[in-house]
Amino acid sequence: MGSDTFSIQQVFDPIFLLNLGIGLFLSFAAILCIYYMFYGGLALIFSGGDDEKIKSAMGTIRYAVIGLVVAFLALGFIFLLGNVANFAVGEYISFERIRDALTLVFNRIFNGPNSAASMVGDYY
């Protein structure tokens, strides 16, 4: 299916929606991690040497990184559980498909349906 025609079948394809949902979840987790690391860094800078504020800022940074790791481990757990259950998860979910789904949707949102950038590449 070419990406120059963003058909209704492609929008409601369960595999496309699954990969898009996973991609949006991981993107959201990464953005939150970056935000809280930045927030914790600023809190650390403006702590003024107060041990309690330093401890709180370091905790914020630590939990932001742990949250991002847990989000990516959850995706790994899906693959592990699929392999244990003898279900071919790799046929449906892959980082390439996640990247392609996000690229296709964001190109359509930010560049419009008739731009040259939105017609590059195929999802399948």
Q: What is the pLDDT of residues 32-58, one digit of tens each?
A: 999 999 999 999 999 988 999 999 999
Give residue 115's pLDDT: 57
Q: Say how far apart CA 36 and CA 61 lie, in whole Å.
A: 6
Predicted pLDDT of residue 8: 62
- Provide the whole-model pTM: 0.72
Residue ranges covered by each domain of the chain: 8-119
**Span 19-38, average pLDDT:** 92
More confident residue, 80 or 4: 80
DSSP character at residue 18: H
